[in-house]
Amino acid sequence: MTLDHPVFLWLIVLAPLDLFWALSREARRLPAFLSLQKPSEREGARRRRKILARTAAIGGALFIVAASFALARPGWGRTNQLVEREGLEIAIVVDVSRSMLAEDLPQPAPGLPSSRLAAALSYARFVLSKAPGAAFSLVAVKGDGLLLVPMSDDLDALHAGLDWASPGAMTQAGTDLGSGIYTALASFSSLAGRGRLVLVLSDGGDLAGRARAAALKARERGVRLLVVGFGGDKPVPIPLGHGSYLDDGKGNPVLVVQDSALLRDVASAGGGRYVDATDASAMAALSDEIAKEGKTGLRLEERSQDRTGLFADIALLSLLLRFLAAFFALGRFQFRAKPRAGEVKP
C-alpha cells in the first residue's frame, strides 16, 4: 500500500479516545434511561440499549479510522491508464556528500573531470541543455535533501544553483538518497499532463534506509527515475586539498567506493534506468530518456490504483451506522407484537 499523505494517519489515535468517551457517556446515561422504563421492561430495554450503544461507539471509531485512510489517499495494485502528455519537468538530485570529492573516474566521458562531484555537475548542466522548454528543479542531498532551486525554466538560476552545490552547502554527514528523492517529488508542480523525471547523480548512500521506498513512491506517481552512478569499485581516499585527506579521527584515511548495487536497486524500484558515468554511452542514454519522456500526446502508463473512494465509502457507512444505532438506542422506535383478539392493548 502507498499513501500520498501519510500524515493524516495520526488522526487514527482519536479512534480509541472517541470509543472510550462514547462508552463512558453511555454508562452515565443508562440509569436515567432505565428509570423511564416500566419495571417489567427494564431488563429487555437495558440489553437493547447496551447492544445499540456499543454499536454506535464502534461505528464512530470505524468512521475515524476509515476517514483517516481516505485523507491519506491510499493506493495499491497496478492499472494501465491513457494519459495526455504535454510538457516536461525534471528534478535533478545531486549528491554533495564528501565522498563525491573522490577522484576515481579513470575513464570519464569526453570533457568530464575525474572528480565525482565535478562530473555530476557536468552531467546536470548537460541535461539542462538537452531539454529545451522543460522546467527543472535542483535538489542537493547530503545528510538530508535540500531544494536549491524550485521548479523553474530559468536556466540562469539553475546554473547558479549548480555553482553553489558543494559539500559545504550542507552541514550533515553522509548521504540520504531517500530524502533527496522525496524532496524532488515534492518539487513538481500540480499541473496535469506533464512528463516527469527524477535524475539522481550520486555514488550511493542511504543513511535512513528510505531510498527504495522513495523510488517506489516515484513509480506509484508515474514519475520515471534515472540514476547515474559515479566512482569506481576500488576504495579511494577523499581529498580535502593541499595534499590532505579526510580521516576517521585516528589518522586513518576514509576510503570510499561507489555503491552501485544500491543505485541499481533504486533505479529498478523506480521503474527507471541506471547508467555508469564512465560508460561512453551514458550521456546518449540520458538524451534518449529525456526525449522519450518529453514526447507529447496520449501515452499508456502504469499507475497505482487509487483506493480513496473505498475508504470514503467505509467512512460514510460507519457514520450512518453510528447515527442509526444511537437513534434507536434512545428508544424512539419499539417494535411490539400486535394485540390478539380480545386482548387489551396496554
Phi-psi label, residue 293: left if phi above 0, alpha if psi -120 to 50, beta otherwise:
alpha
pLDDT digits (tens, 9 = 90+) for 97-115: 888 888 887 654 555 556 8
Domain regions of the chain by residue span: 2-76+307-329, 87-295
According to DSSP, the residues that pair with 145 across neighbouring strands are: 141
Strand arrangement of the beta sheet that strand 224-229 belongs to: 145-152, 135-141, 88-95, 195-202, 224-229, 273-276
- In the sheet that holds 74-85, the strands lie side by side as 2-3, 74-85, 297-306
User: Cα–Cα distance between 264 and 225 in angstroms, integer?
Assistant: 11
Residue-wise pLDDT tens digits, 120-160: 998 999 899 888 778 999 999 987 888 999 999 899 999 99
pLDDT at 148: 92
Gap between the Cα atoms of 186 and 157, Å rounded: 19
CATH class of 87-295: alpha beta
**64 residue type, one letter:** I
* Residue 184 φ/ψ, nearest 5 degrees: -65, -45
Q: What is the dihedral of CA 70, 73, 77, 78, to 10 degrees?
A: 140
Tell me what pLDDT residue 333 has.
46
What's the pLDDT at 111? 56
